[in-house]
Chains A and B, each alone.
Chain A
C-alpha cells in the first residue's frame, strides 16, 4: 500500500487482525445489504445502517452535525478513537461512511482494504454474531469539512466552466444513456445520460478480484493514463445515489493524491430529475421512465 499518496487511510487484513478488540480502536461495518452484519461480523464491530442512520430520514440529505454526534457518541466512539470502516460490495457504503467521518472532521478514520469479503475469506479471521455492549460517550464535531462535498451549483459550474474533472462512476450503459438505472432498482431519474463533460470511469475499475484496491501504479495507469484525469485539477465524483462515488472519491483523493476532490452525493438521482439542465445522452435512449 506504500505507493499510494496517503497510504495511512487504509489498513490491511494483518493490521486488522492484530488490532481487533483493542480499546480506542472501533471497527464499524457499513453494508449495502444491512443483513450482512447479522449473519456474522468482525468480533467487537458495530454496524451503521446507511438507510436509517447515515441519512436524514425526512429530507434527502446526509445526517446533520448533531445527528452525527449522537450516532458516533451513541456507538461509544470518542473523538480521539481510531475508526476502521469496512463493508460488503467492496466497501461501497463503508467508503460513504468514511466520507461522512471525514466531512465531520474525525481525525483517525480508515478503510479496511478489501472490506468484508477479504476478512470473511481469510481462514483464521474470526466471525461472530455477538453484538458488542456499548457505553455511550460524548462526541463533539469540532469542524465540518464542507470542501469534501459537492452540491448542485458547483456541479453545474464545473460542467459549464470545466474547472473541475467530473468523474461518472456508474456503469457504461448508465453513462451513455442506454439505461437510466440498473434493472429493478427503486431510485431512478426522469432522464438518462450524464452531466456534460464528465468522464466515464466505472467504480469497479479501481478494485482487484479479491476486493482490495489496485496498486498505485495500476490506478495511475488507468485514471491518469487511459482516462486522462489531470492530477493537478480538482475533481468531483458522482454516481446514482452517492455511495459508489464515495468509493471513487476515496481513490482519487487518498490513493491517487488529487488534493481537492468532492463527492456529489446528489448524483444522478438529483441531476437527472432537474428541469432544463444540459445533459449528454449519446445513446439517445430512455427519456422518461423506463
Chain B
C-alpha cells in the first residue's frame, strides 16, 4: 500500500482510518456565519459509498474472527440501504454472502443495487396491512433465519452490535480530531442506528469535553432513508443520550431541498440525510459566532433519485418517480 500515491493492494485498504481519512470540505456559499468554519465530512469517499462501510467492516471482522462468518456460513441482515451495500460487497469479496431482508415497498433501484453488490435478496410481502412501528418486519425475519438456521446464517445486527459504536470511536472520531487539529467545537450527525453519534461523540468528548455533540433528526412521519426520529429509537440499542448536547428536529422535507442546494451551490452531491444534517448545522451556526463544526455527510445523492423526484417533481423526467418510495 502506498497511500501517498493512492495505490492499494486491495479494496479494503481504501477503508478510512486516522491515516487515510475521508475528506473534510469547507462549506462556502451556504454558510450563514462565515466566522464559523463549517466542514462536511464526505463519507461517500468510503469504498462502498457510505459511512456504513465503517460499521460493516468492524462487524464483519469481528464475526470472522469469532468464526461466525465464512466457511459456509453467510450473514443475514435487515437492510435496504447503505449497510446492505457495504455488507454485501465485503462479504462477496471475502467469499460468502449477505442475505438482505427488505420490505417489498422499497424502491426497485435499491433492490437492484443490492443484487449488483452480490446480495441474496429476500423481499417481504407487505401488501396486506401495514403495521407502522410495530409488526415483525424485516428485523424479525432476519432474526428468524439466524435463530432457526444458525449453521447457515449469522446476523450482524447493526442496531445492537457494539462494533458499530467501536468503529466510530476508532476511525471517525480520531480522523476528525486529527483533521481539525483538535479545534473542533461542534459535531453534527443524524440519528439512525446511532453508532456514529455515540462512537464519534464519545471519542471527541474524551479529547475535549466541551465539544458539542449535536444530533439531528427528521420530523415525525419522515421518509428519509436510514434515519430515525426519536420516537423510532426503540429499534436501536446504541443510542447514548449522555454524549448528546442537543437534539434538533428538522422538518424532513428540508432534507431534500437542502440536498439540492448543496449540489447546486457547493458542488457537493449530497444525499438527503446530509441535507437534513446541514439544515441542523445551519440553525446552530446562525446563533453561534465562532467555532469549527464538522457534519457527517453519510452518502451522496445517486441512490435517492426516486425520493428526490417525489419531493421535487420538477426534477422528474419521463416518469422516473413512478418507483414506489418508502
Contacts and interface: CB of A to CB of B under 8 A. Distances in A.
Interface of A: 32-36, 39-41, 88-90, 92, 116-117, 120-121, 126-129, 182-186, 204, 207, 209, 211, 239-241, 243-244
B286 interface: no
Interface string B305-324: 00000000000000000001
A211 B136 CA distance: 9
A33 B144 contact: no
B131 A89 contact: yes
Contacts of B127: 184-186
B134 A89 contact: yes
Nearest to A34: B125
Nearest to A32: B128
Contacts of A239: 129
Q: Determine the main DSSP class of A at the interface with B.
A: loop
B148 A211 contact: no
Contacts of B183: none
A53 B128 CA distance: 16
B105 interface: yes
B124 to A, nearest CB: 6
Of B124, B136, B324, which is in contact with the most chain A CB atoms at under 10 Å from its CB? B136
Q: Determine the main DSSP class of B at the interface with A.
A: loop
Nearest to B126: A33
Interface in B16-72: none
Contact of B149 (A35, A40, A126, A244): A40
Contact of A88 (B135, B145, B148, B234): B135
Contact of B145 (A39, A90, A211, A243): A39
B140 A185 contact: no
Nearest to B150: A127
Of A129, A186, A240, A241, which is in contact with the most chain B CB atoms at under 10 Å from its CB? A129
Interface string B229-261: 000001000000000000000000000000000
B130 interface: yes
B132 to A, nearest CB: 9
A184 B128 contact: no
A269 to B, nearest CB: 12
A41 B144 CA distance: 8
A175 B140 CA distance: 29
A141 to B, nearest CB: 28
A90 B141 contact: no
A209 B129 contact: no
A39 B122 CA distance: 11
Nearest to A40: B148
B178 interface: no
A33 B131 contact: no
Given A240-B129, A243-B129, A39 B144 contact: yes
A186 B128 CA distance: 8
5 nearest A-B residue pairs (beta carbon): A40-B148, A127-B148, A40-B144, A39-B144, A127-B147
Given A33-B128, A185-B129, 11 more contacts: A33-B125, A35-B124, A36-B144, A39-B144, A39-B145, A41-B148, A127-B144, A128-B148, A182-B130, A183-B130, A184-B324
29 contacts: A32-B129, A33-B124, A33-B125, A33-B136, A35-B125, A36-B144, A39-B144, A40-B147, A88-B136, A88-B140, A89-B134, A89-B135, A89-B136, A90-B131, A90-B135, A120-B143, A121-B140, A121-B143, A128-B148, A129-B149, A184-B105, A184-B127, A184-B324, A185-B129, A204-B134, A207-B134, A209-B234, A239-B129, A241-B128
Contact of A244 (B129, B136, B145, B234): B129
A117 B140 contact: yes
A49 B134 CA distance: 22
B77 to A, nearest CB: 14
A247 to B, nearest CB: 11
A30 to B, nearest CB: 12
Nearest to A51: B128
A52 B9 CA distance: 55
Contacts of B124: 33, 35
A193 to B, nearest CB: 18
Given A127-B147, A240-B129, A243-B129, A36 B141 contact: yes
A243 B129 CA distance: 9
Contact of B136 (A117, A184, A240, A243): A117
B129 A182 contact: yes
A36 B128 CA distance: 14
Contacts of A88: 135-136, 140
Nearest to B149: A129
Interface in B79-123: 105
Nearest to A244: B129
Contact of B148 (A33, A129, A182, A186): A129
A234 B148 CA distance: 44
Given A33-B125, A117-B140, A40 B145 contact: yes
Nearest to B136: A88
A120 B130 contact: no
A239 B136 CA distance: 20
B188 to A, nearest CB: 30
A36 B147 contact: no
A4 to B, nearest CB: 21
Contact of A120 (B126, B134, B147): B147
